Structure 1
Amino acid sequence: MNTMKLKKPTLLLDKEKCIRNIQRMKAKADKSEVRPRPHFKTHQSAAVGRWFKEAGVSAITVSSVTMAGNFVSDGWQDITIAFPVNIAEIDDINQLANQINLNLLVENKEAVEFLADKLKYKTGIYLKIDSGYHRTGVPVDDHQSIFNLIREVQGYPIMQFKGLLVHNGNTYNASSTEDIINIHQNSQIELGRLKAFLWGHRINPELSLGDTPAMSVVENFEGIDEIRPGNFVFYDVMQAELGSCTYGDIAVALACPVVAKHPERMEIVIYGGAIHLSKDFITGKDGNPIYGKIVMLNKDGWSDVMPGTYVKSLSQEHGIIKTEIGFFEKVKIGDFIGVLPIHSCLTVCQMREYFTFDGKRIGTMNG
């Protein structure tokens, strides 16, 4: 990789690591005999999507109608929009349902009744279940409401009830891999009770589960029909700190030019701010926020994480790096250094394109 050709903040993609992450998760799904339906909101790229096809993936998850349309254009024919249906987009939804096997997500009677009236083509329906994250969905222990809503869906031939869809996003707040496993297992216990209740009413729903931390560390997917992790394709600092991956699995880094140095504070200023990285952070051992970890760029990609060195604050274009004397003296004005993002999904959304080590540009749906 020739950093001499870089001019401004540039998102670098390690294709080899990315493909390895894809293949590892696909092998894990195959071993557990579950359907892989990876979430494409992390990479948002037709080119990266093709690497999934090459690994044997045929069904995907997206987070918007627009994103679904972009991947339909690249030949994907089995798509779940894992976001509560936005009824204002019904015309676009009907266009998609006429072309592909489309699954929508509902969690209330109003949406079901609207779809029953306005859908023109048979569409799969998943019911959003909240098993502890408390972002959205019907509470997993509200068995009667879930049953009533399923019966509502089943009452309309235009809709095919597929199953229950869960995102245990509370695993992102875990303090250890053991905590991630416990959150997953507790969710499975509650979902098992729900499925037993539904079986008693002759309803046998599929269970679709998706969160990168649990899908990365849990080995047994018993009782699950499909998995929908997304972030694993690139991983990031948050996942490494959770124990979902190693720092060596992270497949993207933001290359940023050094524009100033302040020896009195042991701080380095880079051109690379919130509009590039987002403002997601993790909390360091000292209680202060960390907005990115620092690596040195080299011809093969980037180094291990530099000790005692991290992005301490961000403004719009500025990034302020706190470091130690050795790294401070090594870095010169005009050098490009790498920042491993805290949350790769948002960094990709901000940057809209990546460059591989051989200089190939890979665009996203927003680029």
Structure 2
Amino acid sequence: MNVVQPTLLLDEEKCKKNILKMVNKAQESKSVLRPHFKTHQSAEVGEWFKEAGIEKCAVSSLGMAEYFAHAGWKDITVAFPLNVLEKEKVNRLAKTITLNLCIESTETARILSDFVQHQLNVFVEVDAGYNRSGISSEDYEEIAGIIDIIQQNKLLHFTGFLQHAGHTYQAKGKSEIDEIHAFTSDKMRSLKNHFQKKYPEIIVSNGDTPTCSVSENFEGVDEMRPGNFIFYDVMQAEIGSCSYEEIAVALACPVVAKYPERNEIVVYGGAVHFSKDRIENESGTSMYGLVAQKSAYGWGNPTPGLYMKKLSQEHGTIHATDEFIRQTKIGDILYILPIHSCLTANLMGKYFTLEGRELGMYRFGF
């Protein structure tokens, strides 16, 4: 396709391979796959999951839930602490789909119980070590208090416990991922065992791409909720969740300036396109993206010696070798692998397949 400005390209074949790989992983693990759609945010990409037999999804906001409900999804989990100010959206969604919400305090439970008008399911969000949101997995007394409030309202159904092991994003390699997975899974199994006698149908829902990609033992995990795996990215490749060949999105950026004396190339593609997520290489240098090798169809592995070293609003500064600078012309298009594909996709707002077909996304305020 003819790229003239920063353009987010999507390799459909790689995406579908990533989907099938995770579907098979869930089946082998005897877990239900409920993919998190916050990464791709696209109704059309969602159809690829339906083709693979997936009937349930997770999202990160009630607005996104409305978007995917409109696209035909009937069982949606909002994997984010309930924003009680959006009660109209809650009741609108609960009237038409199976809606699953997350709460983590007795205060939120009481507010929800006061305004709910239709039946919906409720997860207690648990913190099993990430320290972002959720009630401590060891605070059984407080958890029991939340469950009691849920159970007192006939419109609310206590579904189980939900957690996200986001600290796996700081792991390096499979052994560290497995260590975090073993710790958090043990916490969740203990919690489930404690409450299962009184609530025999409760489930445990775990979600993060690194563990779902590489760990093997999912005993006691009833539901897997990874999201980033649909695209993967540089961060996931460096963690060990995927290979670079599995990264399914790249930002195509025009070259606008060259500075051989500084070993730098400037592209049209900055923080408003990539975000400012970064990782550090072995020498401690910050990298905001990697330049991929062009192939006959899309892109391949990162090009040795090239990385995005600096971002401003529209500018992206690439550290480049002398040879690469000599070979590169003003107006050339570079394929840059994002550090964090979720944020890059959210900023770009749409995709183009390698055949040039445009795919839309959920935009805030749907």
Q: TM-score, normalised by structure 1?
A: 0.97
1: CA distance, partners of 2:147 / 2:200: 9
* Shift of residue 77, structure 1, vs aligned partner: 0.2
CA distance in 1, matches of 2:9, 2:144: 47
User: How far 1:145 moved relative to its partner?
Assistant: 1.3
Which of 230, 238, 243 pairs up with 1:241? 238
Compare 310-319 and 26-35 and name the one that shifted more.
26-35
Output the CA distance in 1 between the equivalents of 2:287 and 2:361.
27
Match of 1:58 among 31, 55, 64: 55
Is residue 2:38 matched to residue 1:46?
no
1:358 alignment partner in structure 2: 355
Runs of 4+ in structure 1 off by over 6 angstroms are none
Q: Relative to structure 2, which stretch is displaced further, 254-263 or 327-336?
A: 327-336
Cα distance in 1, alignment partners of residues 53 and 11 from structure 2: 21
User: Out of 105, 109, 114, which is 1:108 matched to?
Assistant: 105
The equivalent residue for 1:210 is 207
1:117 maps onto 2:114 in alignment: yes
Q: Which runs of 5+ in 1 are unaligned?
A: none
Moved more, 260-269 or 320-329: 320-329
Whether 2:322 is the aligned partner of 1:325: answer: yes
Deviation at 1:264, TM superposition (A): 0.8
8 Å CA contact 2:244–2:300 kept in 1: the answer is no
Of the candidates 125, 128, 144, which is equivalent to residue 125 of structure 2? 128
**Residue equivalent to 1:165:** 162
Say if 2:103 is the partner of 1:92.
no
Match of 2:248 among 248, 251, 255: 251
Report what 1:294 is aligned to: 291
CA contact (8 A) 2:106 2:145 kept: no
- Within a 5 Å distance, the mapping from 1:75-86 to structure 2 comes to 75-86=72-83
SS at structure 2 position matched to 1:51: helix
Q: Measure, in 2, the Cα distance between the counterparts of 1:100 and 1:365.
A: 18
Aligned AA (2:20): Q
Are 1:222 and 2:219 matched, yes or no? yes
The aligned amino acid for 1:266 is N
What are the Cα deviations for residues 68-120 of structure 1, in whole angstroms up to 9, with x where unaligned? 00001110000000111111110111000000000010001111111111111
Separation in 1, partners of 2:120, 2:197: 26
* Counterpart contact for 2:100–2:122, Cα < 8 Å: yes
Give the gaps of 5 or more residues in structure 2. none
Cα distance in 2, alignment partners of residues 126 and 288 from structure 1: 41
Question: What percentage of aligned pairs have identical amino acids?
Answer: 48
Q: Paired residue for 1:174, among 171, 176, 181?
A: 171
Single out whichever of 290-299 and 304-313 deviates more from structure 2: 290-299
Paired AA for residue 164 in structure 2: H
Does 1:149 find its partner at 2:139?
Answer: no
- Structure 1 residues 35, 268: CA separation in 2 closer, same or farther (over 3 Å shift)? same
User: What is residue 336 of structure 1 aligned with on the other side?
Assistant: 333
Bigger Cα displacement from structure 2, 301-310 vs 97-106: 301-310
- Paired letter, 1:315: S
**Alignment correspondent of 1:30:** 27
How far 1:326 moved relative to its partner?
Answer: 2.1
SS at match of 1:98: helix
Aligned partner letter, 2:331: G
Give secondary structure in 2 for the equivalent of 1:264: helix
Determine the structure 2 residue equivalent to 1:10: 7
How far apart in 2 are the matches of 1:202 and 1:21?
35
Scaled by the length of structure 2, what TM-score is found?
0.97
Equivalent residue pairs, number: 364
Superposed displacement of residue 201, structure 1? 4.7
The corresponding residue for 2:228 is 231
**Higher deviation after alignment, 192-201 or 153-162:** 192-201
